[in-house]
Amino acid sequence: MADLPLPEPGPSEIRIRIAACGLNFADLLMQKGTYQDTPALPFVPGMEVAGEVDAVGEGVDGFQPGARVAVFGGHGGLAEYGCFPAARAVKLPDAMPFAEAAAFQIAYGTSHVALSHRARLQPGETLLVLGAAGGVGLTAVEIGKLMGATVIACARGADKLQIARDMGADHLIDTETADLRAEVKALGGADVVYDPVGGDLFKAAFRACNPEARILPIGFASGDVPQIPANHLLVKNISVLGLYWGGYMAFRPDVITDSLAELLRWYEEGRIHPHVSHLLPLSSAAEGMDLLRNRRSTGKVVIEIG
């Protein structure tokens, strides 16, 4: 850690007194220089934060000092203060703790945009979620169930599967021991596949798809980017729908703002419940990264600041 001068917000920026920062697998990729939006060195990791507005820059409307907000900044979150574009901030419900707010935007936003906007998941369809106890996977289970799908959750080990069941999963598959393709086929096959893992799990899920299924590559936590046989897509009329949530900031920010507005309504109505498995101090940020790297967390890892 280092002591730096207090940053000053530029035009259209707000300064946040950061209370909590949510960690994401993308933070690990940024450290390796392999993420699609890795900033120039040196940079401070931490993609999403929650806290109070401390100061506002020229041209900012709608935010005053003291406002409780969450921000997807892309980086800069593992700090006591940060300046971020006001356009990337959302006001928080009064009852939402900062730790939950810091765990909210990327995980819930990714799953909601993927399932509703990209895959058009329908009530009665079967949703297969890989990595179902992870940061985004667990929210896909929860949102898929809210959208009326039958949810098959795949994760490693009984403890992680129990968390997915608590979020509403109808069927559980232990990827340490099960034949994924056979078990999904026995359950009637998958209409939508949500995949933040890649690798061999993608291949097995692909082979368990029903005709006209939609596959959502969300990420590649396994480190293996699968190659998709186009001839198999043709035979089953399968669609592969990539999803990079942050990319919408550049070309259709309304997709993100509309999605977050609905998700925050769901939160206030008690329909979704963020799961934070580890809440650590800033001095333990490296430990938090290791939890993600070694897949020892469920839901989200959040760093408390201050």
d(C-alpha 216, C-alpha 68), whole Å: 33
Structure confidence at residue 229 (pLDDT) = 87
CA distance 27 to 278: 16
Q: Which positions ≥6 away from 103 have C-beta within 8 Å?
A: 22, 135, 274, 275, 276, 299, 300, 302
Q: Can you give the pLDDT of all 306 residues of the chain as single tens digits?
A: 678 889 899 999 999 999 999 999 999 999 988 888 888 888 899 999 999 999 999 999 999 999 999 999 999 999 999 999 999 999 999 999 999 999 999 999 999 999 999 999 999 999 999 999 999 999 999 999 999 999 999 999 999 999 999 999 999 999 999 999 999 999 999 999 999 999 999 999 999 999 999 999 999 998 899 999 899 899 999 999 999 999 999 999 999 999 999 999 999 999 999 999 999 999 999 999 999 999 899 999 999 997
**pTM of the shown model:** 0.94
Q: What is the pLDDT of residue 37?
A: 83
CA distance 201 to 198: 6
- 259 is written with which tokens? 């999605």
Residue (of 293, 239, 202, 300) closest to 114 by Cα position:
239
- Tokens representing 222 are 């396994």
The H-assigned helical ranges of 64-198 are 98-102, 105-112, 135-146, 158-166, 180-186
Query: 62: alpha, beta or left, given left = phi > 0 and alpha = psi -120 to 50?
Result: left
Q: Is residue 203 exposed (0-12), middle (13-18) or buried (19+ Cβ within 10 Å)?
A: middle
CA–CA separation, 49 vs 34, rounded Å? 22
Amino acid at 82: G
For residue 206, the SS3 value is helix
Per-residue confidence (pLDDT) for residue 34, from 0 to 100? 87
212 Cβ contact list (under 8 Å, min separation 6): 191, 236, 237, 238, 239
Tokens for 116?
A: 């509703």
Cβ atoms 198, 221 nearer than 8 A = yes
